[in-house]
A and B are shown apart, each in its own frame.
Chain A
Amino acid sequence: MIRDFEYFAPKTLKEALTLLDKYQDEAKVIAGGQSLLILMRQGLVAPKYLIDIKGISELNYIKSDAKEGLKIGALTTHRTVEKSPMMRNGFSVLAEIERNVASIQTRNWGTVGGELCHGDPAEDPAPALITLNATLKMASLKGERTMAVEDFTLDYFETALKPGELLTEIQVPVVPPHTGTAYTKFTVIENDLPTVGAAVSIILGSGDDICQDVRVALSASAPIPMRAKQAEAVLRGKKITDALLKEAGEVASTEAEPLSDIYASEEYRRELIKVLVKRMGKEALARAKKA
């Protein structure tokens, strides 16, 4: 049973922040709410005040700029990202990912920012955003700040958002030339939450196949969407071979901290990390060569 609450539907960011500032911990923010309402129904969350930000149109946009890259308003739905013509020039991986986030109904209503704020390590866009070096903009009445996506989630269902603060924008910088990014997830049933997900982004030098830089990130492999820095070190500065990718997968598997749960054992998750990192490394490499 959902407990009664007082409901506000601010129309501007300013109004929302004012309400949040007023009610602090007693308030919960709802966007698409498809995760929050389940928790409320189970009685795990019972806010006194619910601040519905879904209708704040100033946070619903996608902008693309040759210099600054991609800016996605936090209230943009998964479906809008999936369908956006701006998901190109290295950003197309984001549209690919969104296409496999749950069902169309979920994507139509759920927002990208909402999913990030839920803080579930088994979520899709975060690893790719991490590999794309994305940052998040947060606002409160005191002002704004930004933070790398990889620093945003602190623990299971816990984020760096402070009371009174809202996530407002996802910023993805311009993707350098010769960059390839790829993400895949393992699911038992198609389009489910990932049992494990892996994203790899590779930047090649111009005119050679040497890996200038690389980022590897994993979902459902640790308490947070994690960056696999040791695996990156295996690849950085080298000419990438199948053997090296295999090694990167193995290293990523070792540095990850997956759990055993009803979907998979820790041991199986480690096996999957090996395979997915290797495969996405290969795919990212192929894309980088074409880019």
Chain B
Amino acid sequence: MKKGLRLTVNGQPYELYIKPKTLLVEVLRDHLGLTGTKRGCDSSSCGACTVMLNGMAVRSCSVLALQANGGEVLTVEGLAKGNELNSLQKAFLDYGAFQCGFCTSGMLMSATALLNENPKPTKEQIKEGIDGNICRCTGYNSIIRAVTAVVKGEYKEAK
């Protein structure tokens, strides 16, 4: 009944053998130990499980892992280069764009997807870009300031 799954996560190819009902988030967290991706709602509404699949932000709690078969996944663990944080991560630190941190991975992935698609978003577009992610701590505005700082080029990306 189990099925084979090939998946590239943060550049690393994996081959797994899973039950078809396994969700993408479960493969990431429970099979690969990438616990940076969180689960917050089980109703496809909080965004804490957001990852990038083939370049798009998706909710990994609402995608069967087999639906991602052959795909490329980027999770929060794939953002830093070695021990150097990327621009968004640095901006989140500088602008205090998180508190408890439980939504932060998903928030960073939504922001990453946004900037990949549109490197110069307006404030309204930034708000729209993170609207699918609930943060119960910050009130979002510090996150918007952090993303804005990256858009304005306040940070240099590590090579």
User: Which A residues are closer than 8 A to B by beta carbons?
Assistant: 2-7, 9, 30, 32-35, 37-38, 40-41, 50, 52, 54-55, 79, 102-106, 108-109, 190-191
On whether the beta carbons of A52 and B67 are closer than 8 Å, the reply is yes
Sample 25 A-B pairs with CB under 8 A, ordered by A number.
Answer: A5-B21, A7-B3, A9-B66, A9-B69, A30-B67, A32-B62, A33-B62, A33-B63, A33-B67, A34-B59, A37-B64, A38-B44, A38-B62, A50-B20, A54-B67, A55-B67, A104-B57, A104-B110, A104-B129, A105-B47, A105-B58, A105-B59, A105-B132, A106-B44, A109-B62
CB contacts (< 8 Å) of A190 on chain B: these are 131
CB contacts (< 8 Å) of A50 on chain B: these are 20
On whether the beta carbons of A2 and B21 are closer than 8 Å, the reply is yes
On whether the beta carbons of A4 and B20 are closer than 8 Å, the reply is yes
B27 adjacent to chain A (CB < 8 Å): no
Count of B residues near A, CB < 8 Å? 29
Q: A54-B67, A105-B110 are in contact. Are A7 and B62 (CB under 8 A)?
A: no
B31 adjacent to chain A (CB < 8 Å): no
| Bound CA–CA A202/B62 (angstroms) | 38
On whether the beta carbons of B21 and A52 are closer than 8 Å, the reply is no
Considering only residues 32-64 of chain B, those with a C-beta below 8 Å from chain A are: 42-44, 47, 50, 56-59, 62-64
- Which residue on chain B has the smallest CB distance to residue A54? B67
| Bound CA–CA A17/B21 (angstroms) | 22
| Bound CA–CA A168/B132 (angstroms) | 28
On whether the beta carbons of A4 and B1 are closer than 8 Å, the reply is yes
Give 8 A-B pairs besides A4-B1, A105-B47 with Cβ atoms closer than 8 angstroms.
Answer: A2-B21, A2-B23, A7-B20, A33-B67, A52-B67, A104-B110, A104-B129, A108-B57
CB contacts (< 8 Å) of B63 on chain A: these are 33, 109
B19 adjacent to chain A (CB < 8 Å): yes
CB contacts (< 8 Å) of A32 on chain B: these are 62
- A56 to B: closest C-beta gap in Å: 12
| Bound CA–CA A4/B1 (angstroms) | 9
- Which residue on chain A has the smallest CB distance to residue B70? A55
On whether the beta carbons of B131 and A103 are closer than 8 Å, the reply is yes
CB contacts (< 8 Å) of B50 on chain A: these are 105
- B59 to A: closest C-beta gap in Å: 5
